[in-house]
Chains A and B, each alone.
Chain A
Amino acid sequence: MASLTIRLARKFRAAACLAAFGTGGCGGATPAPAPDPAARDECILPTGEPGDPREILVATARSEEPTVAARRGFEPLIRLDCVGAARPGLAQSWTTDSSHRAWTFVFAPSAAGVTPASAAAEWRTRPDAATTLRYSGVASLEPLDERRLVVSLDRPADSVPFLFADVSLGLVTDTLPPAGTTFVPFRLAGEDPRDALDAGADILRTSDPAVLEYARSRNDFTVHPLPWSRTYVLVVPPGGDGLTDLIPGDSAAFRAGLARDAVHAEARAAEPPFWWSDVGPCPAIETREPTPDQPGANRIGYAREDPVARALAERVVALSDRSMTPAGGLPARLLAASLRDGVGRAYVVPVPRTALVPCRELARWPVGSVLVPLIDTRMSAIVRRGVPALAVEFDGGLRPVDSP
């Protein structure tokens, strides 16, 4: 237990490595990465071979970001594959100087409509992109010519900065994906994801055992586990330390029990390393918005739409004595405000296994909070047979495989 309970200090050490996959290390290469055939195969779902261009219907849950379910409509500078290795995106290669502070990205000729100058201009003006750059210690963006962009960092980076794989820095291009295959959103009509499969969706990501069992029972679908992408943690704001005593001493067995009995999702005991235990100093950026009220005060808060978080919060309540504050589900916006202000007794929230911009993630929690990792979860991709081959990215996102 003690080894997994991490208190977020006010001063973080310098980030050394953000890779959090069990098999992953620090991604990226200098100079441009050479494709690794073995790793590439590992991150390609064995659904089918690249075929003729076609539209693939990707079911997206209401609470899910369409860009996470399927990479569509934007292109990052680099990509992270399912094991956390950097891959070319809009940039076909990158190099660094001897100081490892200046990184030069060479844009691919296929990046139609996007130039280093337009990318830099868009990042500077788009709020989410600008915030990401500030949290990441990007000092400057200098377009050299029509294909080269030089990025200067506050601190040296041993590998290519993963922040350029972040969704907030994605850029819209004028061309279709290389394979010519298009992802088309397929919004769920009802509450049950199985309705989407019955209505013709080609791809559905889910962790619901009932949905997965249904898909496995059908011959026209294949089910593929995706990377462990989330860790559910108990966030205890300052002043709520007593809650950590609820966790039994045998933390591994406790977490395994949680993963096995408490939730209806594919889960495992949370496994280290955890990126938040090794984050360097973060810039102080005031991004707070007015809090509408103090939602979730004296409760164990969780996102109302997240059944896993709800189940874990319930279990924490069940383990507490009578004086324990009950759980309370909150809408996502109110939960974010409550968590940021730390008005609740505790929160059960999911955090990404891999944080591309760690300081931005940490800013969502009150300083001095204690984080107790509980379980890791992952989704599985249900793919209709005959769908062209799909590449899996670090967060479980899917995209069409490049044309041969």
Chain B
Amino acid sequence: MSFRGRLFLATSLALLVPLTVLALGVRREMDRRLSGESRRRGEAAVQALGAELARERERVAARLKALAVELSADNRFRLAAVQGQAASRAYLLDWAGGAMRLSGLSLLQIQDSTGRILSSGHFRNEYDRLRPELPDFLLAAGDTPALVRVRTAESPLLALAAAERFAVAGRPFALVGGIAAEDGLLKRLDPDPDLAVSLHTPDSAGTPRAGGQLVGEIPLPFLDAQGETATGSGRLVVTRTSGTLAVLQRGLNTWFLISLALTALLALGLAAWISRLVSRPITELAAKTATVDLDRLDVDFATARDDEIGALSRLLGAMTARLRTGAARLREAERRVAMGDLARQVNHDIKNGLVPIRNVLLHLEQVARDRPETLAEVFDQRRGTLESSVAYLDTLARNYARLSPAAAPEACDVNAMVAEVVRASGAAAVRTRLAGELPPAAADRVMLRRVLENLVGNAADSISSIKGGEVVVSTESITPHGAGPAVRVTIADTGPGMTRAELDRAFDDFYTTKADGTGLGLSIVRRLILDLGGALRIDTEPGAGTRATIEIPARPGGRAAP
């Protein structure tokens, strides 16, 4: 695994693990608190329900007590119920209905001492039925809220009921009254939107509402007085609806998962960014370092970083500079050795070239002394030898002259030199884009000219066989990090470009891809640039042309030579 991969993995784990643990802990704690709070609210609601139910029963009992007082003072009731007066019977039959509506009850019944119904509000025409068990059951329940189910004409009525006994003319009567125990009462009792209250009688399903969680139950005495009397125990069941709490928990889980996923994504992104931030300069430094060798010591390690990477980069730059100095010295030593060899070779070659000349001269001297009349004839005979020897020496001089210049730095007007070289090249497809304010370069004019001639010539040769090809020579002033001002010259062509292998050999002596090339061009250019203290970079790609960039130290404030 790469350094970057290990860094990414470590950073991810360092971010994700604590965040996940934190999120799980928060979620668990919130769930525990929600459930606990919900349970406490449910228990409190059950207690409140019990108290409210008792209050409802008390309100029913108070209304019955008031109605009993009213009936005791009612003459028409006395005439009908005690005296049996037929004319007042209709009044008696209708009394419970009116009283029930006025008192807000849902169930109201008057019974005589035998349990015979004298008047019924909820079921007007059930008069004369015997239902003595109804008041007996309710009175036996005392203050405990009790449920009864009675008949109406159209459907059974489940009521929270109470009973009250009273006497008229010494004859006992009973009032039974109640409020409907379903719908309205349950809505009034419903203490919490998260809770559901339901009534369960012995003959109804005893399980809480589907999906609900049982919170508590309140037992209630129950009497079914529809037909055959049946007693039992009813229940007021409080369940927690699966609605609100479940929705809350689902919402919590959803947002928890969303936030966890976002956090994970952010953590991974952060880890990727950090690992890239750390590894990228190291990778770039490694790539630069990989290009350094004795022939390529112009790699730029300049950086503005203040951290360890910057320090390492500067160390490599200094090391490269030292190598460059050492290499220059080595080359100088080599050059001197070579010069010695060259001098000997020149000496030998010149001697070789001079020998025929000397021989011809000696011959001519001998003819002039011995046979003066044939001197002209002999000169004509030996003229070819002289000319070929001179030509040889001339060629020899030109070849040697191309190998070993002597640097003499001075302030050079690079723009003027570029223009002159381009003009002298005679190539129409070479254009210039020269900087307006360009400082003079500190360079040997001959060496700089030779550099430009080689690079422009190579570029012009590269497009000679390409229709529409062009060469652009541009200049600009630059100030590299950690170095002084410099002049940059860029020669870019739209030629065929070079492969990596071709580029690797391009700086070798006597390597050429041209039929009439000497293979010394780029080799000489590179040496000249190094001698000038500048830098050379070649960017090329097959089919995309070649861009040669040279950077020559500038001489600020200097006056450029024309």
Contacts and interface: CB of A to CB of B under 8 A. Distances in A.
Interface of A: 260-262, 264, 310-311, 313-315, 317-318, 321-323, 326-329
B126 A260 contact: no
B123 interface: yes
A311 B124 contact: yes
A311 B125 contact: yes
B127 A261 contact: yes
Contact of B153 (A260, A264, A317, A322): A317
B93 A326 contact: no
A24 B516 CA distance: 151
B125 A260 contact: no
The 4 closest A-B pairs by CB, nearest first: A322-B227, A314-B153, A318-B126, A315-B125
Given A260-B89, A326-B154, A326-B155, A318 B227 contact: no
B504 interface: no
Contact of A322 (B126, B152, B228): B228
Contacts of B90: 260-261
A220 B416 CA distance: 134
A2 B37 CA distance: 71
A313 B227 contact: no
Nearest to B152: A326
Given A311-B125, A323-B227, A261 B153 contact: no
B129 interface: yes
What's the interface size class on B, roughly?
A: 10 to 19
User: B125, B127, B129, B227 — which one has the most chain A CB atoms within 10 A of its CB?
Assistant: B125
B75 interface: no
Interface of B: 86, 89-90, 93-94, 123-127, 129, 151-155, 226-228
A328 B123 contact: no
Given A261-B90, A328-B154, A314 B227 contact: no
Contacts of A318: 123, 125-127, 129, 151, 153
Contacts of B127: 261, 318
Dominant SS among interface residues on chain A: helix
Given A261-B89, A318-B125, A327 B153 contact: yes
Contacts of B228: 322
A314 B129 CA distance: 13
9 contacts: A260-B89, A261-B127, A262-B125, A310-B153, A311-B125, A314-B125, A314-B126, A314-B153, A321-B227
Nearest to A302: B153
A327 to B, nearest CB: 5
Nearest to A209: B90
B123 A261 contact: no
Nearest to A311: B125
A264 B151 CA distance: 21
A327 B155 CA distance: 8
B93 A261 contact: yes
A318 B126 CA distance: 5
Contacts of A321: 227
B142 to A, nearest CB: 28
Contacts of B155: 326
Nearest to B92: A261
B123 to A, nearest CB: 7
A224 B151 CA distance: 39
Nearest to B154: A326
Contacts of B126: 314, 318
Nearest to A263: B125
Contacts of B93: 261
A138 B134 CA distance: 62
Given A260-B86, A318-B129, 9 more contacts: A310-B153, A313-B153, A314-B125, A314-B126, A318-B125, A323-B227, A326-B152, A326-B154, A327-B153
Contacts of A264: 94
Nearest to A260: B89
Contacts of A329: 154
B77 to A, nearest CB: 16
Nearest to B228: A322
Nearest to B124: A314
A147 to B, nearest CB: 55
Contacts of A262: 125
Contact of A326 (B124, B153, B227): B153
A264 B91 CA distance: 11
Nearest to A312: B125
Given A327-B153, A328-B154, A314 B123 contact: yes
User: B123, B124, B226 — which one has the most chain A CB atoms within 10 A of its CB?
Assistant: B124
User: B86, B89, B94, B126 — which one has the most chain A CB atoms within 10 A of its CB?
Assistant: B126
Contacts of B86: 260
Nearest to A326: B154
Contacts of A328: 154
B516 to A, nearest CB: 111
Contacts of B152: 326
A261 B331 CA distance: 140
Nearest to A322: B227
B226 to A, nearest CB: 5
User: B126, B151, B154, B155 — which one has the most chain A CB atoms within 10 A of its CB?
Assistant: B154
A229 to B, nearest CB: 22
A318 B123 CA distance: 8
A261 B93 CA distance: 7
A329 B155 CA distance: 12
Contacts of A260: 86, 89-90
A321 B229 CA distance: 12
A310 B125 CA distance: 10
A268 to B, nearest CB: 15
A310 B123 CA distance: 11
A48 to B, nearest CB: 33
A323 B226 CA distance: 9
User: B89, B127, B153, B226 — which one has the most chain A CB atoms within 10 A of its CB?
Assistant: B153
A115 to B, nearest CB: 53
A327 B154 contact: yes
A262 B94 CA distance: 10
Contacts of B151: 317-318, 322, 326
Contacts of B124: 311, 314
